[in-house]
Structure 1
Amino acid sequence: MDNRIKHLFEQKPQGLLSVYFTAGYPNLEDTVPIILELEKNGVDLIEIGMPFSDPLADGPTIQQSSEIALRNGMTIPKLFEQLKDIRKYTQIPLVLMGYLNPVMQYGVERFCQKANEIGIDGIILPDLPLSDYVREYKSIFEANNLSKIFLITPQTPEQRIREIDSHTNGFVYMVSSASVTGSTNGKAVADTAYFQRVAGMQLRNPAIIGFGIHDRGTFTEACNHARGAIIGSAFIKALAREGNLQQNIQTFIHSIKNEA
């Protein structure tokens, strides 16, 4: 598979910054402006959250942003409408992240075709089991040039990690020791043994660490153990601040990428 995610990892071997935000938050039409502002400020990869009414894996910050986005009127058809011309303005890798239920309601094949049509590079559906993906959906994803990105945790056995690695073609999403997104109890990326174990497996796909990355220190630490890191809840909190959206994004990304 040849897409923007693959090119990104070829061009930038270390220190990738991926940012997650919820589509339709804080306001319904903020989706595209946030993408363009993130790229302008040096973010490498963007994960666009598709809000869902029952986001089990998400912490309170992302749950609340989902509730607000849904109240604002965000839906999968609305998101596709917002993104239909996105490739006229940016070539940054874009990944859609959400839950299986709304995608199934939309129709998995139709969803993948539409995502491919507008230039989406990858999909993360944490509650789609690997076996179901391989049996029912892998051919659809591959036909539409979409990387299916899976999550692994410190509890994921080596055999399972290798199986995931063999069936994906974007990156492996390493969930840090935090149990839900946005957790910052103790050190957010403290499970060094887990990171070293995965690094020692020499996987085919690069790995990025997510969950609990919230400032320059945790971002830098995660990048010491993987190709990059994903920031979600901390960025959503920055979007909720008073003031100018562009300025809030610029200030937050600068705080992650640059020395204080």
Structure 2
Amino acid sequence: MNKINYLFENNKDKKLLSLYFCAGCPTLDNTAEVILSMQRRGIAMIEVGIPFSDPLADGPVIQGAATKALKNGMSLKLLFSQLKSIKGQVEIPLVLMGYLNPILHYGIEAFCQSCVEAGVSGAIIPDLPFDDYMNTVKPIADKYDLRIIMLITPETSEERIRFIDEHTDGFIYMVSSAAITGTQSNFDEQKQAYFRRINAMNLRNPRMIGFGISNAQTLKAAQDNAAGAIIGSKFVSLLNEADGNADVALERLFDALEK
């Protein structure tokens, strides 16, 4: 069974926490250390960012991380090599998150094959058009048992959400707002209403809520309204502040999530 499916099947009553970091930032060679540290500290699933020069959906923190990673020399080929070196040690799902351009340059089939060889269970491609997913990417990803995770926002129509739910597997990435990534102090009533509306749809796939989660209030709101929460910008900032020491960054993150 794909590790993503196994995670959700076996943790239906547990509120999961997934973290994002950008491969190659703050240092080129700390990918393995960050992943293994997260696994030791109980993180349920890890999103590994593929750095790209024009990350449209990302705020300044993750944009800065991508720029630094590229300057450090990170590439998709190198990332796969790093992940392959720890494949036997990683038990939790790894999900690559990146934009379509580098993946197309690498080749869709080559990308999916390399994911499997490196122990990657899924991919999030924010700018992948759904028609292209259905017609081109999905058949190849299915061949390699790789989950392509789609995003929904408060502006996504109910019809499109149900279509996504019907034609994807693994989980649905529920973006808390239509804004770019970044931290928020709380989720207002409009966002809470969005969470309740999606809850009422009784979708087949589990959902993870991301964008803006950085403290106890936003974490609780996400975990109360989905299978779990995804934290990106807050952890990326803490990892930079800790000069790449993942254990220190995780300790500081857990402290922040209690406030």
| Contact 1:176 1:189 (8 Å CA) reproduced | no
Instruction: Find the aligned partners of 2:122 and 2:189 in 1 and give their Cα distance.
Output: 24
Q: How far is 1:138 from its partner?
A: 0.8
Distance 2:57 2:189 in 1: 18
Residue of structure 2 in register with 1:3 after alignment: 2
SS in 2 for 1:47: strand
**Partners of 2:171 and 2:206 within 8 A in 1:** yes
Residue 95 of structure 1 aligns to a residue in which SS? strand
Letter in 1 for 2:46: I
Q: Which residue of 2 aligns with 1:144?
A: 144
Residue identity over aligned pairs, in percent, reads 48
Q: 2:186·2:217 contact (CA, 8 Å) conserved in 1?
A: no
Counterpart of 2:28, as a letter, is L
Partner of 1:28: helix, strand, or coil?
A: coil
Of stretches 226-235 and 10-19 in structure 1, the one that deviates more from structure 2 is 10-19
Normalised by the length of structure 1, the TM-score is 0.94
Q: CA deviation at 1:136?
A: 1.2
- Residue 240 of structure 1: SS of its match in structure 2? helix
Taking a change above 3 Å as real, the CA distance of residues 244 and 117 of structure 1, as seen in their structure-2 partners, is closer
Cα 1:172–1:189 shift into 2, 3 Å: farther
Q: State the shift of 1:24 in Å.
A: 0.5
Change (3 A) 1:188 1:248: farther
Output the CA distance in 2 between the equivalents of 1:156 and 1:99: 20
Q: How does 1:225-240 map to 2 (within 5 A)?
A: 225-240=225-240
The answer on whether the counterparts of 1:189 and 1:212 sit within 8 Å (CA) in structure 2 is: no
Q: Match of 1:68, as an amino acid?
A: K
Query: Where in structure 2 are there 5+ consecutive unaligned residues?
Result: none
Q: Distance in 2 between matches of 1:153 and 1:212?
A: 13
Secondary structure at 1:21 match in 2: strand
Residue 189 of structure 1 contacts residue 222 of structure 1 at CA under 8 Å; is this kept in 2? no
Show CA shifts across 1:82-134 (max 9, x none): 11132211211000000000000011111101101221100000100111110
Q: Scaled by the length of structure 2, what TM-score is found?
A: 0.95
Does structure 1 retain, via aligned residues, the 8 Å contact 2:19–2:230?
A: yes
Asked if 1:187 is matched to 2:187, the reply is: yes
Q: Deviation at 1:235?
A: 0.1
2:106 corresponds in structure 1 to 106
Corresponding residue SS for 1:33: helix
Report if aligned partners of 1:172, 1:206 keep a CA contact under 8 Å in 2.
Answer: yes
Residue identity matched to 1:85? S
Q: d(CA) in 2 for partners of 1:235 and 1:196?
A: 27
Runs of 4+ displaced beyond 6 Å:
none
Give 1:183 shift: 4.2
SS at structure 1 position matched to 2:214:
coil
Q: What whole-Å deviation, never above 9, does each CA across 1:169-199 have from its counterpart, x for those lacking one? A: 1100000025010142653785122111111
Q: Match of 2:177, SS?
A: coil
Shift of 1:247: 3.6
Aligned length: 258
Task: State the distance in 1 between where 2:200 and 2:210 align.
Answer: 19
Q: 1:12: Cα distance to partner?
A: 1.4
1:248 offset after TM fit, Å?
Answer: 1.8
